[in-house]
Amino acid sequence: MAGDVMRRALILLAVVLVALISAGCGREEPRAPAGPGAGPAAPRPMPPDAASAPASDAGEPVDAPRSAVEAPAPSPGETAPTEPPARAPRPPARKQVLVSRLAGTWYPADRRALEEQISKHLEAAGGEKPLEDVLALILPHAGYRFSGRTAASGIRQVAGRALRRVIVMGPSHRMYLRNVASVPDATHYATPLGEVELDREAIEKLLESPHFQTIPPAHDEEHSVQIEIPLLQKALGTFRLVPIVVGHLAPDAIEPVASALATLLDDRTLVVASSDFTHYGSSFDYLPFTEDVEENLRALDMGAVDAIRAKDWKGFHDYCERTGATICGRNPVAILLALLPRDSSAHLLRYDTSGALTGDFRSSVSYASIAFCGAWKPRAPDGSSGSEGSSTPRGSGGPSSSAGSGGSSARAPLGQDEKQRLLRIARTVLERYFDRSLPSRIEDLGVEITDAMKCPSGVFVTLKKRGRLRGCIGSTYPVQPLHEGVVSSALSAALRDRRFPPVGAGELAEIELEISVLTTPRPVESRAAIEIGRHGIILSKDGHSALFLPQVATEQGWSLEETLSQLALKAGLAPDAWREGARLQVFEAIVFGEGGSAGSEKGS
């Protein structure tokens, strides 16, 4: 029977990687919008420690359309790149605005109506004197009609403060990110209340850490970060924003991420961890009790709050593991707890549930607003404070060397032997799938995994039969270790490429495999920077996007303008849409296949 790792490999490309960009035939499938919804019930969630499906404005996942990254078979003639660091792109040189897509569903699209709604929540939050010296908040991230009052209880504590920077960390609901946090390459965020400038200097500083990358699709519709921005705009007016989408982090990644963030902290910086608390009900596959639900939910959530009050991120993590508590923002909360000074104080401001609001506890999401008071301690360049006042361990500035860690900031070059091993993994996983002997761990495939093979990478696996394309699927961005990406892509290319029927066991002997390892996409200012035959291209505009691998243009004999026009058509845009207002990114690919003993690198 296939193990958990292999089952996840099949699911990730089909369901979780909704935000990845299609390449080759067809355009990216439309994402399911977060509708206003009439209640909190929602079908088929993902577990809290994995990327979940898109969420309704109650904070609960709804079904997302299946999406996969597809490409035509690579061909000779492309230029094989050197292997630069798998780093995020440099910050944009010109203004680039991320527009929040929550307006009209999660909160009103009209500026005046939105201001009025937030003001009412602030008034309802009470007139008690705000706490002093608030340095961090935990806030919910459901639609304002569900969690607005709870969120306002926290936001009012900092209203009118002259803060220079706000760091908002939210969990990734739409895209699976393994041991990495993503920061955008934009310059501003826009909501109906106006634009907020991003702190590009702080973002670039974070990108020096191997645990931070820029993965644009992770930000497109991630509500956990976007929902906090209008509240902050209303309370603070002018500030610079550092929005961070946090992936699924192994425990040994929490402290390195916290250490990177610690270098940004001062007395004019606020940190917000965006998280809902327990997601209860059959729709969440979480029914630890069926009687006295309201009371038991509160007890379960207060157990988590107790660990948070203790500022013990490991205790909080262990509590979530032990109880199975479906706290979607457990990683942002853990990072915050690792950052907080030991002498800071925690204050639970408000607790609520969607079940109490709707009167229906068959499916319920819990919300809590928690404030932390104190002062950030001065930090050394490695993130340590050099004093006993901080809960962040000293000397934890780098990632673990374990298989799941984020890896180093520079990709270790793939040797010929490692390319052969990756091809063997792809071949073996297909053979073992068809003879129903998939192991539970990739390591049990009988192939030694080197450090270079563990480095997060974008990767495509191409299947060819008698020289003709039989399937090609992969991931554009480095969202998982390379060897895991090869497993996911090989299985998906064989079984889930919608252009072809699934590969049968009898075909496998005729299938030739090819692997393309991608460099991290980077933005370019104009088409003049694009080199046909060397660069793959991603075009994005008005919520549409599409991708061509480097070999597509030369394979088709297109000029640069023809390539961009075809790419615009593929994205569902007019053929000349690339000429104005489009965002262009490029990447390169190292391609090797089963044609030689160790795989042959394509290119001149």
CB of 213 closer than 8 Å to CB of 87 = yes
Based on the domain organization, do 76 and 108 belong to the same domain? Answer: no
Domain assignment present for residue 432? The answer is yes
Based on the domain organization, do 368 and 415 belong to the same domain? Answer: no
pLDDT confidence of residue 380: 52
pTM: 0.68
Pick the closest to residue 271 from 153, 393, 134 (CA basis): 134
The tokens for 69 are 């990254």
Comparison of pLDDT for 223 and 29, the residue scoring more: 223
pLDDT digits (tens, 9 = 90+) for 542-564: 878 888 888 889 888 999 999 99
Domain assignment present for residue 602? The answer is no
Q: How many domains does the chain have?
A: 2
Res. 538: pLDDT tops 70:
yes
Res. 383: pLDDT tops 60:
no
Q: Is 408 exposed, middle or buried (0-12, 13-18, 19+ CB in 10 A)?
A: middle
The tokens for 561 are 């303008």
**What mean pLDDT do residues 24-51 have?**
29
Based on the domain organization, do 73 and 128 belong to the same domain? Answer: no
pLDDT confidence of residue 23: 38
Check which CATH number belongs to the domain holding 233 and give it: 3.40.830.10
Task: Return the percentage of the chain with pLDDT > 90, whole number.
Answer: 59
Based on the domain organization, do 364 and 433 belong to the same domain? Answer: no
pLDDT digits (tens, 9 = 90+) for 294-325: 999 999 999 999 999 999 999 999 999 999 99
Comparison of pLDDT for 113 and 17, the residue scoring more: 113
Residue carrying the six token digits 């923002």: 329
Rounded Cα gap, residues 178 and 556, in angstroms: 35
Res. 391: pLDDT tops 70:
no
Q: Which residues form the domain of 433?
A: 4-30+65-86+410-593
Domain assignment present for residue 219? The answer is yes
Based on the domain organization, do 364 and 310 belong to the same domain? Answer: yes
Domain assignment present for residue 391? The answer is no
Comparison of pLDDT for 357 and 33, the residue scoring more: 357
pLDDT confidence of residue 57: 60
pLDDT confidence of residue 278: 96
Based on the domain organization, do 309 and 427 belong to the same domain? Answer: no
Res. 112: pLDDT tops 50:
yes
pLDDT digits (tens, 9 = 90+) for 56-82: 566 543 333 222 222 333 332 223 333
Reported as a pLDDT band with limits 50, 70 and 90, residue 292 is very high
pLDDT digits (tens, 9 = 90+) for 449-506: 999 999 888 999 999 999 888 998 888 888 888 999 999 999 999 998 888 999 999 9
Res. 11: pLDDT tops 60:
no
pLDDT confidence of residue 43: 27
Domain assignment present for residue 384? The answer is no
pLDDT confidence of residue 542: 81
Residues 6+ apart with CB under 8 A from 338: 254, 255, 258, 313, 391, 392, 393
Based on the domain organization, do 326 and 430 belong to the same domain? Answer: no
Domain assignment present for residue 26? The answer is yes
DSSP string, 104-137: TTTB-SSHHHHHHHHHHHHHHT--SPPPSSEEEE
Comparison of pLDDT for 210 and 515, the residue scoring more: 515
Based on the domain organization, do 337 and 439 belong to the same domain? Answer: no
pLDDT confidence of residue 94: 77
Based on the domain organization, do 340 and 415 belong to the same domain? Answer: no
Rounded Cα gap, residues 118 and 326, in angstroms: 27
Chain mean pLDDT for the chain: 80
**What mean pLDDT do residues 141-149 have?**
94
Based on the domain organization, do 80 and 118 belong to the same domain? Answer: no
Domain assignment present for residue 113? The answer is yes
Reported as a pLDDT band with limits 50, 70 and 90, residue 389 is very low
Check which CATH number belongs to the domain holding 80 and give it: 3.30.700.20
Residues 6+ apart with CB under 8 A from 350: 125, 149, 150, 153, 154, 367, 368, 369
pLDDT confidence of residue 58: 62
Based on the domain organization, do 101 and 82 belong to the same domain? Answer: no
Comparison of pLDDT for 411 and 159, the residue scoring more: 159
Based on the domain organization, do 456 and 433 belong to the same domain? Answer: yes
